[in-house]
Amino acid sequence: MLKTRILVASIILSAVFHIISCATVEEGEKTYTWPNGNSYRGGWLNNTMNGRGVFNWANGDRYEGDWKEGIKQGQGTMKWSNGSVYSGQWVNNKKTGNGTMTWADGASYTGDWKDDVINGSGTMKKPDGTAYTGSWLNGKKNGQGTMTWPNSARYTGGWKNDDKNGMGILTGPDGTVEKGRYINGVFVGK
């Protein structure tokens, strides 16, 4: 009976020490490199990335910014190895809020994002000089906005699914004006 009690007590004590050691909280600044070559340097709390920090992926991608419980959360800059860069707000590891994305081909967008998709209002500029400023829905021009082209043509008015839609004014490069209704990108009259 005594041996059984001692054995049970030692098992309980062993379990308690294991629980205490697992509950130990590391916090502060930490540098860690994973076996796959990824690395992190920055704030650490509850055994995970928390606060400001820099994460470098082995493939050359890099995120510098705010972390919360191991995910990108707050302000930060992500640089991909292909040359694309996003700087702005993050929520749950996704571009959400206001931010600027510059793609490797030179195109850029500054404005609102939701769940990694352009949503809200903002400006897209293409390498050829084409630019759109206005409303976006699910990554497409939607609502009111203005598109300008390198040849000085300009359209201001309604958009739906990336097409001119609703009332609008198109001014051609020679100054001619087409004012009226558009449906799916086609002028249908006044």
CATH number of the domain bearing residue 39: 2.60.450.20
Does residue 4 lie within any of the structural domains? no
The answer to whether the beta carbons of residues 104 and 124 sit under 8 Å apart is no
Tokens of 8: 């049970």
Does residue 46 lie within any of the structural domains? yes
**Inter-residue long-range contacts of 70-76, CB under 8 Å, 24+ positions, other chains counted:** none
Q: State how many domains the chain has.
A: 1
Does residue 7 lie within any of the structural domains? no
Q: How far apart are CA 149 and CA 131, in angstroms?
A: 7
Tokens of 158: 């309604």
**pLDDT given for residue 44 in this prediction:** 94
**pLDDT given for residue 5 in this prediction:** 45
Q: Which domain holds residue 91?
A: 25-189
Q: How far apart are CA 178 and CA 187, in angstroms?
A: 8
Sequence-ordered strand ranges (E) for 92-162: 94-102, 108-114, 117-125, 131-137, 140-148, 154-160
- Residue type, position 83, single letter: G
**pLDDT given for residue 22 in this prediction:** 36
The 3-state DSSP class for residue 35 equals coil
Does residue 87 lie within any of the structural domains? yes
**pLDDT given for residue 27 in this prediction:** 83
The answer to whether the beta carbons of residues 78 and 62 sit under 8 Å apart is yes
**pLDDT given for residue 190 in this prediction:** 80
Does residue 39 lie within any of the structural domains? yes
DSSP percent split of the chain into helix, strand, coil, nearest 5: 10, 60, 30
Does residue 8 lie within any of the structural domains? no
DSSP state of 152: S
- Average pLDDT for consecutive 10-residue bins of the chain (190 residues)? 43 34 62 96 94 98 97 98 98 98 98 98 98 98 98 97 97 95 92
Residue found under tokens 């590891």: 93
The answer to whether the beta carbons of residues 135 and 143 sit under 8 Å apart is yes
Does residue 12 lie within any of the structural domains? no
Which H or E run includes 87? Answer: strand 85-91
Does residue 178 lie within any of the structural domains? yes
